[in-house]
């Protein structure tokens, strides 16, 4: 191989080097002036400079023929791939060309004959480039694409005869072949490549008709045939045939160039057109700037609305906190004053024989009970921020609360396994208030109410009626009614303490229901959204969701056969708790007050007491203290509307396991009772060794 390729003189390669440097420099300039295609022109320029480096080293004799030919195989793939990429074809097509052509060449180099590797690969590379130019011409009818398609086809033809030329053993033939390559390449750069970028950018290329392009292409092919005959067949000391062919090709390229030169000069030098294009660009930039200003103004307005909404949320929270502090102080005093009054009224009701007096006592007792119910709401509001958060299964809370509204048109629509960290009793109270609000929105008819719950994934921030939601995963609870909707003037007031839009016979409750809902949301770091209109109202509660809690026990695992004494002055509460505990397997005893509870503990074995705290005559602390004297070691769970911190501490000292806030859910009640039983059994086990 070296014997054949060594015949290519270094001087002959200087022709290839010169044309390659010119094209590489031009492409480098294009990479600078065309930011949109900078890396494409840069890659193409790098390929040409790579070939220039090979030619330079070969001309100096520093690069042996064999490595030179192998590196040129690599270059032919890079050249073809760069052109394919520059013309907007997919990167995978360019990569395929860049890999397939060298692979084909190396297969011939190592598998057949090294001398013919470039002769086989280069025609394919330049043929592919000629095809790309031709397709561009057929699409846009551009002058530069047509000229480069013809010149690339000529280069493909001369490369196909490369091995034949150097194998003649004639240095003159090799020199003439490289000179011809240099001539075609240099003219292609100055007459074609310098005008191609405008066509690539899609800027009104100089047109060449199809007949003209075909005549140019075939004229170049005829000239190439004459040149190759002059090199391979009729090579004389003065290569007249070769020179005729070269002159013919040069004249053809120059003739077609000058035929279009007027248009080319206009496109290159027309200042008015450049100014017009610049004006269009500036107008486009001005329009884009205006759009950005509009978007900025919208963003600022949105931020202003968000800031105003956040300020309203902060103000509401401050008012709520002040109301909670006031409610706690007032409600505690009211509770202490009203409980004895209720006891005395009940005594008068029992001992009075006169029907009219008993009737008046019954009316007074009902009014006092309503006052205590209002006080219960005040107590609930005052306890915000002091709840113990545990994993809560939202479905259990919803179903438990829905059972407290028998006969109502409530539809449950579960939407997924929703878990959150919170207080089941507080969540129950909030949902109960929302359901009461929905049911009473129109007392002239039965209003359909739908409760939905599940999990929602938010991918972007959301502004709600009371607060803002960040992207994330939320447990959701919806209460929707088909009532008349909330009047627009009341929407911003309904969460204020003691505000109510109901009047006359529709007036019920304390005006604290929705205030307590917002307090519960704040305690659970949740956000409330409200949608209302003539077709109804929908409250949506968002809570930070947690994964399903594997340690949470289902209802069947909380069943027990122990005996529970339920102590409460409310007969409806006794019935509800009794039904729940019987379903869970407990033996249930009942007491309507402290004295009856102590008598029951004295007469029958009791494992645990479910005890209301705020009862007339004897409160929960006094009742449990008496039960401890009768049956030491008995455990208790206090379930009450309000217990002060001091009272709670004394109850726990006596042996109360858990203090639940009314209304607690089924799961919460059963877990508390189970915990009390387990603590009692553990305490009994610790006493037995000491006794023995």
| CA distances for 390 relative to 478, 671, 677, angstroms | 21, 12, 20
| Band (270; pLDDT cuts 50, 70, 90) | very low
Greater pLDDT, 127 or 676: 127
Ranges 211-225, 365-379, 447-461, 517-531: which has the least confidence: 365-379
The yes-or-no verdict on residue 507 having pLDDT over 50 is no
What the block records as the tokens of 225 is: 């045939």
Can you tell me the distance from the alpha carbon of 316 to that of 524, in angstroms, rounded to the nearest whole number? 16
The yes-or-no verdict on residue 648 having pLDDT over 80 is no
Query: What φ, ψ does residue 227 adopt, rounded to 5°?
Result: -65, -45
Closest C-alpha to 211, from 131, 156, 264, 141: 141
Looking at domain 555-691, its CATH superfamily turns out to be Response regulator (3.40.50.2300)
DSSP states of 570-601: -HHHHHHHHHHHHHTT-EEEEESSHHHHHHHH
Task: Classify the phi-psi angles of 509: left when phi > 0, otherwise alpha if psi is within -120 to 50, otherwise beta.
Answer: left
Query: In the chain, what are the domain boundaries?
Result: 2-269, 388-544, 555-691
Partnered with residue 458 across adjacent β-strands are 472
- Give pLDDT, residue 445: 76
User: Percentage of the chain with pLDDT > 90?
Assistant: 13
| Band (365; pLDDT cuts 50, 70, 90) | low
The answer to whether residues 435 and 410 touch, using CB atoms and an 8 Å cutoff, is yes
| Band (78; pLDDT cuts 50, 70, 90) | very high
Query: What φ, ψ does residue 231 adopt, rounded to 5°?
Result: -85, -45
H or E element in which residue 545 lies? none
The yes-or-no verdict on residue 685 having pLDDT over 80 is no
Region 450-462: what's the mean pLDDT?
89
What is the pTM (predicted TM-score) of this model?
0.45
Query: In the CATH hierarchy, which fold is given to the domain comprising 388-544?
Result: Heat Shock Protein 90 (3.30.565)
Residue 251 burial (CB count, 10 A):
12
Greater pLDDT, 31 or 359: 31
Region 11-22: what's the mean pLDDT?
68
**pLDDT tens readout for residues 404-418:** 788 888 899 988 888
| CA distances for 666 relative to 159, 294, 461, 626, 657, angstroms | 90, 55, 35, 28, 17
Can you tell me the distance from the alpha carbon of 496 to that of 517, in angstroms, rounded to the nearest whole number? 11
The yes-or-no verdict on residue 267 having pLDDT over 80 is no
Q: Where are the beta strands (DSSP E) in 427-487?
A: 449-458, 462-464, 467-469, 472-481
Average pLDDT of every residue of the chain = 79
Can you tell me the distance from the alpha carbon of 283 to that of 265, in angstroms, rounded to the nearest whole number? 26
- Give pLDDT, residue 539: 92
What the block records as the tokens of 417 is: 């396994």
Can you tell me the distance from the alpha carbon of 631 to that of 652, in angstroms, rounded to the nearest whole number? 17
Ranges 257-271, 359-373, 577-591: which has the least confidence: 257-271
Using the 8-state DSSP alphabet, how is residue 642 labeled? -
| CA distances for 256 relative to 67, 146, 189, 508, angstroms | 40, 10, 15, 97
Residues contacting 344, CB < 8 A, separation 6+: none
Partnered with residue 478 across adjacent β-strands are 452, 540
User: Percentage of the chain with pLDDT > 70?
Assistant: 78
- Give pLDDT, residue 269: 42
- Most confident range (mean pLDDT) of 71-80, 259-268, 358-367 is 71-80
Closest C-alpha to 616, from 348, 329, 429: 348
| Band (382; pLDDT cuts 50, 70, 90) | low
Closest C-alpha to 1, from 118, 159, 104: 118
| Band (505; pLDDT cuts 50, 70, 90) | very low
Region 213-232: what's the mean pLDDT?
90
Q: Where are the beta strands (DSSP E) in 380-425?
A: 390-393, 410-415, 419-422
Number of residues that this document lists for the chain? 692
**pLDDT tens readout for residues 515-572:** 788 888 888 888 888 888 888 899 999 999 988 865 544 444 555 678 888 888 877 7
Question: Nearest 10 degrees: CA dihedral of 574, 580, 582, 585?
Answer: -140
- Give pLDDT, residue 264: 59
Q: Residue 80, CB half-sphere, CA atoms under 13 Å: how many?
A: 27
- Give pLDDT, residue 571: 76
Long-range contacts at 460-463 (CB < 8 A, ≥ 24 apart): 463/306, 463/309
């Amino acid at each position: 191989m070296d014997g054949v390729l060594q015949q290519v003189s270094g001087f002959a390669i200087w022709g290839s080097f010169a044309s390659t440097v010119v094209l590489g420099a031009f492409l480098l300039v294009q990479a600078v002036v065309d930011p949109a295609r900078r890396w494409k022109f840069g890659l193409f320029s790098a390929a040409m400079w790579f070939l220039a480096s090979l030619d330079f080293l070969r001309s100096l004799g520093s690069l042996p023929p064999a490595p030179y030919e192998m590196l040129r195989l690599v270059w032919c793939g890079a050249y073809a791939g760069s052109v394919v990429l520059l013309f907007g074809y997919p990167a995978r097509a360019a990569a395929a060309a860049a890999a397939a052509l060298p692979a084909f060449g190396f297969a011939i180099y190592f598998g057949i004959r090294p001398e013919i590797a470039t002769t086989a690969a280069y025609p394919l590379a330049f043929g592919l480039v000629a095809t790309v130019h031709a397709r561009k011409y057929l699409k846009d009818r551009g002058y530069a694409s047509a000229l480069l398609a013809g010149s690339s086809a000529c280069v493909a033809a001369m490369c196909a005869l490369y091995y034949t030329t150097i194998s003649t053993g004639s240095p003159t033939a090799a020199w003439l072949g490289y000179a011809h390559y240099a001539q075609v390449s240099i003219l292609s750069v100055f007459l074609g490549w310098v005008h191609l970028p405008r066509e690539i950018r899609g800027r009104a290329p100089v047109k060449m008709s199809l007949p003209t392009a075909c005549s140019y292409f075939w004229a170049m092919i005829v000239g190439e045939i004459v040149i190759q005959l002059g090199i391979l067949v009729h090579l004389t000391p003065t290569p007249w045939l070769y020179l005729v062919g070269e002159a013919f090709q040069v004249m053809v390229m120059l003739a077609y160039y000058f035929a279009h030169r007027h248009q080319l000069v206009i496109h290159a030098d027309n200042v008015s057109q450049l100014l017009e294009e610049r004006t269009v660009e500036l107008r486009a930039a001005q329009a884009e700037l205006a759009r950005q200003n509009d978007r900025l103004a919208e963003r600022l307005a949105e931020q202003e609305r968000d800031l105003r909404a956040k300020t309203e949320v902060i103000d509401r929270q401050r008012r709520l906190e002040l109301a909670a502090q006031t409610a706690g102080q007032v409600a505690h005093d009211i509770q202490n004053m009203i409980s004895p009054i209720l006891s005395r009224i009940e005594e008068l009701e029992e001992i009075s024989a006169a029907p009219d007096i008993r009737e008046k006592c019954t009316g007074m007792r009902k009014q006092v009970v309503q006052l205590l119910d209002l006080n219960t709401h005040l107590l609930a509001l005052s306890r915000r921020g002091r709840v113990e958060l545990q994993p809560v299964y939202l479905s259990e809370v919803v179903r438990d609360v829905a059972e407290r509204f028998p006969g109502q048109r409530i539809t449950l629509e579960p939407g997924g396994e929703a878990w959150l960290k919170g207080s089941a009793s507080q969540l129950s109270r909030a949902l109960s208030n929302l359901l009461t609000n929905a049911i009473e929105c129109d007392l002239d008819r039965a209003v359909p109410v739908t409760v939905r719950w599940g999990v929602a994934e938010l991918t972007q921030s959301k502004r709600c009626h009371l607060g803002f939601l960040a992207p994330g995963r939320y447990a959701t609870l919806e209460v929707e009614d088909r009532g008349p909707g909330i009047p627009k003037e009341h929407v911003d007031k309904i969460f204020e303490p003691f505000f109510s839009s109901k009047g006359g016979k529709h007036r019920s409750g304390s005006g604290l229901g929705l205030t307590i809902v917002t307090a519960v949301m704040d305690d659970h770091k949740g956000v409330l959204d409200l949608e209302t209109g003539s077709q109804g109202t929908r409250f949506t509660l968002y809570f930070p969701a947690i994964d399903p809690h594997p340690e949470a026990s289902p209802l069947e695992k909380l069943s027990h056969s122990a005996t529970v004494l339920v102590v409460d002055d409310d007969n409806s509460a006794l019935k509800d708790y009794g039904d729940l505990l019987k379903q869970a397997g407990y033996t249930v005893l009942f007491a309507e007050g402290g004295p009856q509870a102590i008598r029951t503990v004295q007469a029958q074995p009791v494992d645990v007491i479910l005890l209301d705290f705020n009862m007339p005559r004897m409160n929960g602390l006094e009742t449990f203290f008496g039960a401890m004297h009768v049956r030491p070691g008995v455990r208790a769970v206090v379930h009450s509307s309000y217990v002060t911190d001091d009272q709670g501490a004394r109850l726990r000292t006596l042996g109360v396991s858990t203090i639940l806030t009314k209304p607690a859910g089924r799961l919460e009640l059963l877990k508390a009772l189970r915990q009390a039983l387990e603590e009692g059994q553990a305490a009994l086990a610790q006493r037995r060794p000491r006794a023995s």
